[in-house]
Structure 1
Amino acid sequence: MKKFSFYIAFLCGLFLFLGMGLVQAYEPNVSTNAAIAPNSTLVTSDPATIQPLVEPTIDQALDQAGGNAESLVNSKPFAIAASDDSSEDADEASDLPDLQPFDKVIKKTQKISGLFTLYRNKETGKLYAEIKPGQLNQNFLATMTLESGIGESGLYSGLPTGDFLFQFRRVNQNIHFVVPNTYFRTRAGDPLQRSLDRSFSDSVLASLPIKSIHPKRKTVLVDLGPLLLNDFASLSPVVSWMLESPYSIDSNKSYFGPAKAFPFNVEIESVYGFSGGGGEGAPSYINALPDSRALTLRVHYSFSELPKNNPYRPRIADDRVGYFITAYQDFSDDNRREPFVRYINRWDLQKQDPDAALSPPKQPIVFWIENTVPLEYREAVQEGVLMWNRAFEKIGFLNAIEVKQMPDNATWDPADIRYNTIRWFNSFDSAFAMGPSRVNPLTGEILDADIIVDGNFIRYLKQGFQALVSQSQPSGQPSGPATAKNLCALGGVQPRYLRAMQSDSAIAQPAIPPAVARIVQQTHEQDACYGMELAHQFAAGHLSLSLLQNAMPSGAEMQKYIHQFMRELIAHEVGHTLGLRHNFHGSTMVPPQDLNNTKLTQSQGLVASVMDYNAANLAPQGGKQGDYFTEVVGPYDEWAIEYGYKPIIATVPQAEIRGLQAIAQRAPQAHLAYATDEDVIAGLDPEVNAFDLSGDVLLYSQWQMDNAREMWKRLDKRYPVAGESYSEVRDVFDTIFFYYLGYALNANNFIGGQSLSRYHGGDAAGRLPLEPIPVEKQRQALALVQKYVFNEESFQFSPQLLNKLAPSRWNHWGTNVPVFNLDYPIHDRVLFLQSIVLRDLLSADRLSRLQDTELKTEAGKALTLPELFDTIQTSIWQGVVRPSDQPMKFSSLNRALQREHLNLLTAMVLRKREAPEDARTLAWYELRQLHGSLSDTLRKQGRKLDTYTKAHLEETRDRIAKTLEAQLQTN
């Protein structure tokens, strides 16, 4: 199994994004800015003079202002001075005996003037950089982008691989490339700064020998080869891990690509040739490579000056509103309530006319649609970007965001930090989109953004569903979208069935090399990734249109579906580039009965936020179909933009606090609830999910499971069409299968679930941050699981359909033709689904929460552990626990589920499975009760039972007896 799944954090899980920031103080790998407009003059300032503000709490700020909030506007801000730990002065002109004359070193080179003047020798391949004395010990921004990939296993074109603040520091005869430590700060001029300098280290990433010093300019000349051709981006361990084979950079195959210099930035491309692909356990080949022994990757480096003389003011974060964070620890005041200072990441957006109710910005946020985007999707892409202008208009900005088309003959590179782009790429084995941005780690100001979209989202619709279904899978498990190593999954939100499996320790996470972990963390910190599960949802929606609405592939309804999907996908990623994190509470705004009322949804939105992973809106059987995806950004989106971008008259962040708190205190209002990646992963709140919809998640889930069952029926009658392969039927069957499983798991979250809010004290009278789900709702969810998962009638397929499920017989590169189990393993498939739901239902976390809930709820109003255990056992062993007069007969599907239930209870009793002690006792009790019921059944009906059933019951009784008599294993 390729390690690609774990990397869309290079994705999505390499890089993430799988919104938590490189820690929080330093999120270099995330946002970039259109603030530096092409063909325009950028007014900048000395980076060293940028004074990151260290704000006190609101109480402290008011105390300093004498209790007068207005005085805060004129209060002196806190600041931090740039540290200078170089061992020599930058303007030192001492002659170094081993240096060659400047003119001799640059002889036969091409001079490229800019921020750093470059000298390129085309004969030797050398690339030199000339650094001015005043540029030493100053802050610059470095960004790295994987400009070309291999289209497989997480190595995809356009992925950000890191960005950070750096300095050139002279140490003796070398120039150190240093990443300064921005995590710990104090007031400018505070003596404590000396202590911080000794307590915390900067990171010296490279030491470059000085080649020459100009005799007049006193500039320093260094060779960039040792820095940018020696795996500066740490790709070797990433490539080796992703491709499951050792690879290393071959210096003979590596060289500099295009190099350009501009007044405020330098753009350099490194071409890395990798050799390897051998060794024990190495794959026979990489599908996307013509020869797995070698590959080439191009990395684009941007070195840019930070904005100078910039009036940008950092804005303090609030955990009720979902923004990416730039955070640091403030050592200037020991009386602070907590050490962290947190700024939101946002663009520097200012009105041209501050007094006008509606004014264009001084400098709009400009996105360029890359010339690689197919013509038929450019309109949807543009609409998705411009959807956000509605939110900005409500706070006084006219046309805050603009969209331009990159010309076909453009000479600039989309990775150039001066351009914000929407890029299209293609891959062999994935489907994802990302909206990373790069920020100033001192202030949180977004400086650049580049959205990337995998063309496979659309290809899966137009070329079938084979790409969604892996041809190799673990024994007994069905193939499906997003295997255990989907990098989006690594970065945070995983497919629901994988989260259930991993919570049960069914899948062991492989050890991740530090270089991969760094990129994965970056992705996770940015929540910036749509992964394979979105492609699966999209494909399932397409199937629904085809099977349930008879929509033609090229018909108007299908084109509407694709257009709306692409528009919301782009709007979601643009939201990330504006600084917004995921909001997985956004999909629960509209009541189920109003989902298809376009008069309502097209005015207020289908969802509260496009920052959710919103499911396609598919009407229930017999219902009218409305919009599939939202037409407008929702009320949460508008509220979040107000918090981040509303102009507030103040000179320092502290003076903004009153206005910001007034905005954030509206959190309890309808449709402003916020919950992000870590809330989904916790699985506590049943209304916080990826790919759910409506204000009644249980009802919508039931609708979609009914739709899935109807799709299976029509698949039997209508597929394959003349001329198509029967393997298409198998692929479609599995696509519906995973759609069904995803919605079945939604019900589990209600059992032992709690509503979790981010309200602060005083925000909502009578509301608490944690509120157990009403017991009636939990019982409703349990009944849904019994009907749609544990009842074998939900999986009754005609023999004709099952015998259509033939595998593909193509055998060439890029395929994995099965040799064994050519027929469809229907028992394994159904048991896989039931097992995932049952194991999740009896997970240690859920059982512990149920036990705790009994103390957090009034007597008689909690779903207790005995009720859960008894309900499950009664449902699965119905004929034994509650026998009828008629001889019982268990089908093969019943027997398989009963064995799985027996295995789980046995594992609890024998301490081979994590569980609260009361749950172990109840498992013992249920087994004892079941043993008695089995004995009674065999005594009364033994002669009437068919052989299958009798053997099954006797074997079960025997296993239970041995379990109850077994010696306990201690941990």
Structure 2
Amino acid sequence: MCRFLILLSVATLLVACGPKESDEVSQAATIEPAEKSSPEKTADQWTPDAVKKLERKDGFLTLFVDEKEGQVFAQFPASDDDGVSLRAIYASGLTSGLGSNPVGLDRGLFENGAVIAFRRAGSKLIAEQENWKYRASSENPLERKAVRESFARSFIWAGEVTETGPAGELLVDISSFLTRDGLGVQAALKSHPQGGSFSIAKDRTFPDTKNILAFPDNVEFDSFMTLVSDKPGREVRATAADGRAVTLVVHHSLVRLPDAGYEPREFDPRSGAIDVPHYDFSAPLDEQIIKTYARRYRLEKEDPNAEKSPAKNPIVFYVDSGAPPEIRDALIEGASWWADAFEAAGFEDAFRVEPLPQGAHPRDARYNVISWTHRQTRGWSYGGGIADPRTGEMIKGSVILGSQRVRQDRMIFEGLAGAANSGAGGENDPVNIALKRIRQLSAHEVGHSLGFAHNFAASTNDRASVMDYPAPFVTVDGAGSLDLSNAYDVGIGDWDKAAAKWLYTQFPEGTDQQREVNKIIDETYASGLRFVGDSEGRSVATANPYGSVWDNGGDAVKALRDTMAVRRVALDNFGEGAIKKGRPMAALQAVIVPIYLYHRYQIAAAAKLVGGYDFTYKENGDELNPANPVPDDVQRAALAAIAETVDPAALSLSDETVNLISPSLGGFGSNNITEAFEGNTGPVFDLLAAADSAATLSLAAVLHPDRAARLVDFKSRDQSRLGLLEVLQSLERTIFAEQQSSRNRAIAHRVQTRFVSTLINMSGGNAAVGEAQAAAVGLSSGGGQVATPDVQAIIDLYLKGLRTRISPGLLEGQTTERAHREWLMANIDRHFERPAPARMPVVTSPDTPPGSPIGGGFMETCWHCD
């Protein structure tokens, strides 16, 4: 899916000669019209002597390109009384990326954009990034000035004015503006463990003079940036031609600011919209100082008083011409689903998706573009673009879809349905199913560009939104075969229509808009629809029973058992048919992983019922239900289903299956399998290591420190509730159950070891345990990472009792079982007997929130600060 929380998005940027510095945003938060002429109106009145022989490009700004010297000049308007020549929303990004998903420097990736002002200061032109996070909506210019001067702005570049025109026009060499590391490429590489420390090679960093573009509403620039290092990281070595010299193409955009007339919509956390926050220091004392707008396009009806009306300017997205035909068609079809949502919001013909017209450039600000991007491995896709940070108005939508995702989906479905079905057509054709998934992905990422946030509760509402992360819905039919005919839904969901009504409905003049949007929310939730955002959906530690990623169904317990049934059928059928004829058998190493761990995300969904807390983003006075712990019978049912996932019988594979998975050649080429289970058995598939990985998924989910703390808290409120000790005892009954076969006993030993090790980690207060557990599940940890003292005390009590219960007793002659139990007992003993670290034997207290009006930290009690 996408990382829109970070929202590095494909974009261009918007510029306009703007109002004077004091004219920021009116009390209604609309943008004042420009007070001076646009640059293109004066572009033909003066040709500077210094650039008369250079190639001229007319557009929003007039540009002069010197291919011989590698220089780019721009002609700016005359500065106003405050020295401002041009006000802008600026973004830099990558035309050509690294190709490494973990590092994230991808083709088409851009910043969100910021307002900058090109300001003359003596002989220099300064690019100043304005600080729009803090503002005053008052009409009093001194009040606005006080806020501006209270928070730092940033001068991000300075260049010498080469020549001044008769009307004050400015010719400036902007080459150094285009070759600086404004995107933070060096920092991105350095911050990643497998990136490395790089410096810019100035002799190999210069503007790409053949890719300087001027359009009516924007100008676009590419520059080659070469970064060098003696010790490049693994990700760089894997993707660059020579990891010691990495050349990227960095992009810069300047685009016209929107004109006046846009009406912002105040953000509501219940709405499923994307927020654009700021501080308004003009807010009355009885109102919040933090103001938030919803991000959306300016969409207006031809007849604003009609219940349904055509749109004045429909939103159109264009698909990258570089996408293969079958992919392009799928992207168009999936993204087009949003037309139904705009119909629900009262618009006719308000949204379309088309191929990018021949001759049109994807950097032209007039085009919202869906880009098809290649990386070494599969990874995140992105949906976003450039919005005016002052109002939240969306200007240019940009979507990046990673090409490897569809191939991974195809591989998974070949593992489920058989590679022989690929390309054969029909409901079980892995290629067709993967294309169904890419339609969903296209709709999802375009949804972010349109202003819609993730809704990770949609899967519990019968797939009510494309803004969820959809797991394939696969079932076992009456004959014991897998049915993939309904793997992915088609079309926009009920939540999407409701969210579009809230975000885009245009109300007739004189309407109480706040009342009407609240009415939409009340009707939406009254219908049974739910919304859970990123903060509760992504993390394995969180408590909302409806918020999970890659899960299915409103009943997480039933869904987990159904998923386990699908997994068992797939594993029983797993073999040569999972890959195409002629492929190395070693490829099964990669195919087995998503099949063996097919249940991983459904485990996380079920675990959120244990210690779960049912709540909504309620506002004071609305009709939404108050928060409450999940009923105990539901929690216990979820715990029982999770315990079944660590039963050795569920984790076992047949000898025939294990013997099919041969080792890869490794070392030099394409046969090297990078996504495979780690093992300790050399060329033999290590079933015990795979079982350990699967068991870790279950235990990491249900025994996360945050979840354990909630269980202790709920138990303290009511002793009849499910508590942590009962959870541990329930898991023990399955994990230490007697096994009949030697294979299952070996698997049980590995699961028992993981169980004890997890508890020792939690009891020891290991600060990394929460993150390690979350990483095992493939999710973020969220929340705290260290078990509370209450949790540690219960775990220690439990471990002491467990040591007694697993004592070998009368196991004479059962050498393997005796050895294992004595080893576990010795580990528990070592836990209690190990020397304490050299620190005070005290429990760290949580930080107390600031209480005085002065603020937090040392200022709370500072006696000499007055």
The TM-score by the shorter chain falls in which range?
0.7 to 0.9
Post-superposition offset of 1:132? 0.9
Say yes or no: does 1:304 pair with 2:304: no
Q: Which residue number in structure 2 is paired with residue 392 of structure 1?
A: 342
Provide Cα deviations, 1:453-476, integer angstroms capped at 9, x if missing partner. Answer: 22212334xxxxxxxxxxxxxxxx
1: distance between equivalents of 2:143 and 2:19? 24
Provide Cα deviations, 1:659-708, integer angstroms capped at 9, x if missing partner. Answer: 22222233532343111111122521132111111211221222122111
Post-superposition offset of 1:542? 4.5
2: distance between equivalents of 1:139 and 1:234? 23
Post-superposition offset of 1:240? 4.8
Structure 1 residues 772-811: aligned runs within 5 Å? 772-789=629-646, 791-809=647-665, 811=667
Q: Which residue number in structure 2 is paired with residue 278 of structure 1?
A: 230
Cα 1:164–1:808, aligned 2, differ >3 Å: closer, same or farther? same
2: distance between equivalents of 1:449 and 1:891? 56
Q: Which residue number in structure 1 is paired with residue 811 of structure 2?
A: 942
Structure 1 residues 401-800: aligned runs within 5 Å? 401-407=351-357, 409-410=358-359, 412-460=360-408, 535=409, 539-546=411-418, 551-557=421-427, 558=429, 559-590=431-462, 607-622=463-478, 626-650=485-509, 656-680=513-537, 681=539, 683-716=542-575, 718=577, 723-764=582-623, 767-768=625-626, 770-789=627-646, 791-800=647-656
Q: Secondary structure at the match of 2:597?
A: helix
Cα 1:224–1:834, aligned 2, differ >3 Å: closer, same or farther? same
1: distance between equivalents of 2:558 and 2:94? 44
> Contact 2:304/2:508 (CA < 8 Å) preserved in 1?
no
Say yes or no: does 1:919 pair with 2:791: yes
Post-superposition offset of 1:340? 0.9
Cα 1:678–1:700, aligned 2, differ >3 Å: closer, same or farther? same
Q: So what's the TM-score if we normalise by structure 1?
A: 0.76
> Contact 2:645/2:698 (CA < 8 Å) preserved in 1?
no
Q: Secondary structure at the match of 1:628?
A: coil
> Contact 2:453/2:533 (CA < 8 Å) preserved in 1?
yes
> Contact 1:20/1:324 (CA < 8 Å) preserved in 2?
no
Post-superposition offset of 1:298? 1.5
Say yes or no: does 1:835 pair with 2:696: yes
Q: Which residue number in structure 1 is paired with residue 745 of structure 2?
A: 891
Say yes or no: does 1:151 pair with 2:86: no
- Aligned CA RMSD, in angstroms, stands at 3.4
Q: Which residue of 132, 154, 174 maps to 1:224?
A: 174
Q: Secondary structure at the match of 1:675?
A: coil
Cα 1:719–1:395, aligned 2, differ >3 Å: closer, same or farther? closer
> Contact 2:532/2:546 (CA < 8 Å) preserved in 1?
no
Post-superposition offset of 1:178? 0.7
Q: Which residue number in structure 2 is paired with residue 204 of structure 1?
A: 155
Structure 1 residues 53-68: aligned runs within 5 Å? 54=27
2: distance between equivalents of 1:732 and 1:165? 47
2: distance between equivalents of 1:879 and 1:820? 26
Cα 1:778–1:403, aligned 2, differ >3 Å: closer, same or farther? same
Cα 1:276–1:966, aligned 2, differ >3 Å: closer, same or farther? closer
Post-superposition offset of 1:948? 0.7
Q: Which residue number in structure 2 is paired with residue 522 of structure 1?
A: none
Q: Which residue number in structure 2 is paired with residue 125 of structure 1?
A: 70
Q: Which residue of 336, 342, 349 maps to 2:286?
A: 336
Post-superposition offset of 1:804? 1.8
2: distance between equivalents of 1:658 and 1:48? 35
> Contact 1:127/1:223 (CA < 8 Å) preserved in 2?
yes
Q: Which runs of 5+ in 1 are unaligned?
A: 1-10, 22-28, 37-41, 55-76, 91-100, 461-534, 591-606, 881-885
Q: Which residue number in structure 2 is paired with residue 265 of structure 1?
A: 218
Q: Which residue number in structure 2 is paired with residue 289 of structure 1?
A: 240
1: distance between equivalents of 2:183 and 2:831? 55
2: distance between equivalents of 1:887 and 1:648? 70
Cα 1:194–1:83, aligned 2, differ >3 Å: closer, same or farther? farther
> Contact 2:301/2:310 (CA < 8 Å) preserved in 1?
yes
> Contact 1:540/1:739 (CA < 8 Å) preserved in 2?
no
2: distance between equivalents of 1:356 and 1:721? 57
> Contact 1:146/1:161 (CA < 8 Å) preserved in 2?
no
Give the aligned length.
793
Q: Secondary structure at the match of 2:346?
A: coil
Q: Secondary structure at the match of 2:790?
A: helix
What letter corresponds to residue 93 of structure 2 in structure 1? T
Cα 1:706–1:44, aligned 2, differ >3 Å: closer, same or farther? farther
Cα 1:454–1:123, aligned 2, differ >3 Å: closer, same or farther? same
What letter corresponds to residue 707 of structure 2 in structure 1? R
Post-superposition offset of 1:160? 1.5
2: distance between equivalents of 1:190 and 1:846? 52
> Contact 1:349/1:361 (CA < 8 Å) preserved in 2?
yes
Q: Secondary structure at the match of 2:526?
A: coil
Identity %: 24
Post-superposition offset of 1:741? 2.7
Post-superposition offset of 1:304? 1.2
Provide Cα deviations, 1:166-194, integer angstroms capped at 9, x if missing partner. Answer: 11111122111011111122212253223
Provide Cα deviations, 1:724-746, integer angstroms capped at 9, x if missing partner. Answer: 42212222212212323333333
Bigger mean CA deviation after superposition, 396-405 or 441-450: 396-405
1: distance between equivalents of 2:762 and 2:372? 50
Say yes or no: does 1:178 pair with 2:34: no
What letter corresponds to residue 412 of structure 2 in structure 1? A
> Contact 1:256/1:271 (CA < 8 Å) preserved in 2?
yes
Q: Which residue number in structure 1 is paired with residue 772 of structure 2?
A: none
Q: Which residue of 821, 831, 845 maps to 1:953?
A: 821
Provide Cα deviations, 1:432-453, integer angstroms capped at 9, x if missing partner. Answer: 3221121001111000012122
Provide Cα deviations, 1:909-943, integer angstroms capped at 9, x if missing partner. Answer: 555574333333332332333333344x51xx233
1: distance between equivalents of 2:406 and 2:283? 54
2: distance between equivalents of 1:129 and 1:888? 77
Cα 1:855–1:760, aligned 2, differ >3 Å: closer, same or farther? farther
Q: Which runs of 5+ in 2 are unaligned?
A: 38-45, 675-679, 770-785, 843-866
2: distance between equivalents of 1:694 and 1:132? 59
Post-superposition offset of 1:772? 1.0
What letter corresponds to residue 921 of structure 1 in structure 2? A
Cα 1:933–1:433, aligned 2, differ >3 Å: closer, same or farther? closer
What letter corresponds to residue 751 of structure 1 in structure 2? V
Post-superposition offset of 1:103? 4.0
Cα 1:873–1:563, aligned 2, differ >3 Å: closer, same or farther? closer
What letter corresponds to residue 556 of structure 1 in structure 2? G
Post-superposition offset of 1:750? 1.4
Q: Secondary structure at the match of 2:60?
A: coil
Post-superposition offset of 1:428? 1.4
Q: Which residue number in structure 2 is paired with residue 474 of structure 1?
A: none
> Contact 1:620/1:704 (CA < 8 Å) preserved in 2?
no
> Contact 2:309/2:348 (CA < 8 Å) preserved in 1?
yes
> Contact 2:586/2:673 (CA < 8 Å) preserved in 1?
no
Structure 1 residues 106-145: aligned runs within 5 Å? 106-133=51-78, 136=84, 138-145=86-93
Bigger mean CA deviation after superposition, 430-439 or 364-373: 430-439
Q: Secondary structure at the match of 1:52?
A: coil
Cα 1:378–1:931, aligned 2, differ >3 Å: closer, same or farther? closer
Q: Secondary structure at the match of 1:378?
A: helix
2: distance between equivalents of 1:32 and 1:237? 21
> Contact 1:643/1:660 (CA < 8 Å) preserved in 2?
yes
> Contact 2:273/2:452 (CA < 8 Å) preserved in 1?
yes
